[in-house]
Amino acid sequence: MTPSDANQPVDFIRAAVMEDLKSARYTRVHTRFPPEPNGYLHIGHAKAICIDFGIAAEFGGKCNLRFDDTNPVKEEVEYVESIQQDIRWLGFDWKDRLFYASDYFEQLYAFAVTLIRKGKAYVCDLSAEKVREYRGTLTEPGRESPYRNRTAEENLDLFARMRAGEFPDGSRTLRAKIDMASGNINLRDPVMYRIIHATHHRTDDAWCVYPMYDFAHGQSDSIEGITHSLCSLEYEDHRPLYDWFLDALEIYHPRQIEFARLNLSSTVLSKRKLLRLVQERHVKGWDDPRMPTLSGLRRRGYSPEAIRDFCNRIGVAKRDSIVDIALLEHCLREDLNRRAPRVMGVLRPLRVVIENLPEGHVEEVTAVNNPEDAAAGTRTLPFSRVLYIEQDDFRENPPPKYYRLAPGREVRLRYAYFIKCVEAVKDAGGAVVELRCTYDPATRGGDAPDGRKVKATIHWVSATHAVPAEVRLYDRLFLKEDPEDVVEGQDFLASLNPNSLQLLTGCWVEPGLAQVKAGTIYQFERQGYFCVDPDSANGTLAFNRAVSLKDEWAKIEKAQGQQPAAGRTA
Ligand code: ATP
Ligand code: MG
C-alpha cells in the first residue's frame, strides 16, 4: 500500500501514514473531513478535502464526511446541504459514511460522566468572563477554580441537572481537570460542555448542554475508528488535549496530524468574514462568482479538475504560506485550454458594413471548435454584409505597434476574409459608430493567393445572426494582496475592490450559443473563458468571465526562472 504515483515525492503526512502501516500502529487508513455547517465550503476546505479523501483513496482506505455540528446557534441545514453538494462536485464520495457529531451526543455525554466519575472533570460555576480571567496568560499560570474540588457525586448531580435544563445559559460549565499551570493554555481545565438553550438543526430541543469542539472531535474520531485525523495547523496546540481525553477515557486512539492551511493572496478564507461579505451585501451571495467558495468558483467557471490540480500543486506543508491566486487561475486556464470549445463573442460591439457584399448576402464559413482537440470538430458560422467587431480592434489614429484595423488598413476576420477599412462613420459627438469596409473574396478561409500578409486577425459576429448577451467581467474582490493590511480602525472590508464586477450589456455572441446550458464554459476567442450563468434561465443570456487569457502565473514563473512552485513563504 503506497500512494499511487510513485514518482511524486511523498509529503510528511503520507510518510507518517506509511510509517504507521509499516510499524502496524494501524493496519488500515481511515480519515474524515469534519466541516462545521456554519458556512459554505471554500478553496481552503478543498485543500483539506483533497488531503482527507485523497490519502484515504491512495492507501485503499475510507474517508467519512462528518458534520461537526456542536454549536446550534450558528449552524443551518442550508449549509449541511451545500457542503454535500460541493464535495460531490469536487469529485469525492463518502459512500454510506455520512455522520454528524450530534449523532454521538448521548455517547459523548456518557464519556463526560465517565470522566466525572474518574475525578477528571468537574462542574464549574464561574462565568465565561471569570473562566477567562482565571485561565492566566502565556506568561502567567492560571488559578484554580474555587469549584475544582467538588466531589464526584456533586458533579454528577449538577451535570445531570445542567442537562435537565435547570440552569440558564452561561451559568455553569463542565470542565476537564487537567493543569492550571500548564504551558499549553488548552490544558488549563478546558471547558467540555456549555449550556445553550437553543434549537439544534438535527436534535431539535433534546439538548441544552452542548460539547465543545475539543471534547467532541477526538471522541467522534474514536467512535468512527478513524486512524488519521488530518487537520490544519491551528489545531496543533489542541493535540495534547485531543490525546488527553482519549487517554483519560481509555478508548481507541486515532492520530491527529496537522498541515498548513491554505492562504491565498487577495482573498479572505475565514467563514466569519465570508459570511460578513454576504450579510452586508458586498457580494450577491455565497455563490457570487467573486467568492472563494466552491459554489462561487463553480459559478465563475472553475472546473473540479482545475481545483484538484491546484490542490495537488500546492502540496502539503508544515509551515503556513501564502499561495499566489495567479496559480489558481493558471490551473483553470490549463484545464480549460484543453477542453473549452472556442466561440466568438463581441463584448463591446462596433458595427462594420462590408460595402462590396450585396444586401441580404449570407454565406457559411467553417470554424475550428478546439485547436487543442481535433476530436472537437468544426462548426459553421454565418458571414454577411453587416458584422460586429470589438471597438478596441479599431483605432482612427493607430499608435505604433497597433496592427489591427484603422482607416486604409487590412486585417483578417477569423475563419473568413481579409477586410479593409475605407471609412469611419461618426456620430454628432465625433464618436466612431460604424466602419465601412470592403472584403477581398479571394481570401476566403484567411489567406491571400497573392501572398499578401496582414498583421492581425480579429474576431467578429454576423449582426443579423448573433445572439444578444450580457457579460460579467470579474476582477479580484480585494485590491490588496493581503486584505488585512489596513490602517488602524479599519478592517478587511476597506480593501474591497470597488470595481470587482463590470457588467457589459449589449454584447453579441455567435448564433450557436442561443440554447446553452448554465455552467457550460467557452473560450471567447482572444478574450478569455466564459461560463454560462444560471441567470440565463431568465431570458437574457448571461456569461461570467472565469478568467482572461493573460497568464500572470506564467510570467511570475518565467521571472523566477523555475518550475511551477507551490507558494511563497509568508
Ligand atoms: P473558519 O476558521 O474559516 O471558520 P474552520 O477551519 O473552522 O474555518 P471547518 O468547517 O471547521 O472550518 O473546517 C473543516 C476542515 O477544513 C477542518 O479540518 C479545517 O482544518 C479545514 N480547513 C478549513 N480552512 C482551511 C484552509 N484554509 N486550508 C486548509 N484546510 C482548511
Ligand atoms: Mg472549525
* Average pLDDT over every residue of 20-25: 98
21 has pLDDT over 90: yes
**Residue pLDDT, tens place only, 104-151:** 999 999 999 999 999 999 999 999 999 999 999 999 999 999 999 999
d(CA 130, CA 152): 23
Decide whether any atom of ligand 1 lies within 6 Å of the 545 Cβ.
no
Ligand 1 proximity of 37 Cβ (cutoff 6 Å): no
| pLDDT per position as a tens digit, 67-112 | 999 999 988 899 999 999 999 999 999 999 999 999 999 999 999 9
Cell of 22: 509499516
pLDDT of amino acid 6: 57
> What's the 538 CA to ligand 1 centre distance in angstroms?
36
Ligand 1, atom 18, residue with closest C-alpha:
231
| 4 has a pLDDT exceeding 80 | no
Q: Is the CB of 270 under 6 A from ligand 1?
A: yes
Backbone angles phi and psi of 147, in degrees to 5: -100, 5
Q: Which three cell numbers stand for residue 282?
A: 458586498
CA proximity to 275, closest of 98, 492, 545: 492
Where does 340-416 have alpha helices with state H? Answer: none
Name the residue with the closest Cα to ligand 1, atom 27: 44
Burial of 430: CB neighbours in 10 Å, binned 0-12, 13-18, 19+: exposed
Calculate mean pLDDT across residues 38-58. Answer: 97
Res 564: pLDDT: 45
Report d(CA 229, CA 402) in Å as an integer.
58
Q: Which of the listed residues 217, 261, 265 should we mutate to test ligand 1's pocket, taking the one with most ligand atoms within 8 A of CB?
A: 261
Q: Is 232 in the pocket of ligand 1 (CB under 6 A)?
A: yes
CB of 36 sitting under 6 A from ligand 1: yes
Distance from residue 201's CA to the centre of ligand 2 (Å): 18
Instruction: Please state, in angstroms and rounded to a whole number, the distance separating the CA atoms of residues 455 and 453.
Output: 7
Q: Is residue 416 helix, strand or coil? A: coil
Mean pLDDT over each residue of the chain, to the nearest integer: 95
Are 422 and 438 within 8 A, CB to CB?
Answer: yes
pLDDT tier for residue 5 given thresholds of 50, 70 and 90 = low
Mean pLDDT of 421-450: 96
Nearest to 475 by CA among 374, 380, 546, 392: 546
Handedness of CA 241, 244, 246, 248 (dihedral sign): negative
Compute the chain's Rg from CA coordinates. Answer: 30
Report pLDDT digits (tens) over 138-186. 999 999 999 999 999 999 999 999 999 999 999 999 999 999 999 999 9
Mean pLDDT of 352-356: 98
Residue 476 near residue 545 (C-beta atoms within 8 A)? no
Please tell me the predicted confidence (pLDDT) of residue 566: 45
The pLDDT of 360-385, averaged and rounded, is 96
Residue 159 cell numbers, joined = 451535570
Alpha-carbon distance of 37 to 202, in angstroms, equals 12
Residues acting as catalytic residues: 36, 261, 271
On the question of pLDDT at 46 being above 80, the answer is yes
Ligand number nearest CA of 322 is 1
| Mean pLDDT to the nearest integer, 553-570 | 59
Percent of the chain, pLDDT > 70?
A: 97
- For 319-337, the pLDDT digits (tens) are 988 999 999 999 999 999 9
Say if residue 213's pLDDT is above 50.
yes
CA 365 to chain centre: 40
Which grid cell is 519?
A: 455552467
3-state secondary structure of 26: coil
Decide whether any atom of ligand 1 lies within 6 Å of the 35 Cβ.
yes
- pLDDT value at position 450? 95
Q: Is the C-alpha dihedral spanning 33, 39, 45, 50 positive or negative? A: positive
Residue of 311, 309, 278 whose CA lies nearest to 79: 278
Q: Is the CB of 74 under 6 A from ligand 1?
A: no
Percent helix, strand, coil in the chain (nearest 5)?
30, 25, 45
Coil, strand, or helix at residue 80?
Answer: helix
352 CA to middle of ligand 1, Å?
A: 53
pTM of this structure: 0.93
Distance 292 CA to ligand 1 centre (A): 13
Say if CB 271 and CB 39 are below 8 A apart: yes
Task: Determine the straight-line distance between the first and last CA of the chain, rounded to whole angstroms.
Answer: 35
The Cα–Cα gap between 437 and 458 comes to 14
350 near 394, Cβ under 8 Å?
A: yes
Reported as a single tens digit per residue, the pLDDT across 235-282 is 999 999 999 999 999 999 999 999 999 999 999 999 999 999 999 999
| CB-CB contact of 512 with 466 (8 Å) | no
For residue 3, pLDDT beyond 60: no
Q: 537-558 pLDDT, tens per residue?
A: 888 999 999 999 987 777 777 7
Contact (Cβ atoms closer than 8 angstroms) between residue 508 and residue 460: no
The pLDDT value recorded for residue 565 is 43
C-alpha 230 – ligand 2 centre gap (Å): 13
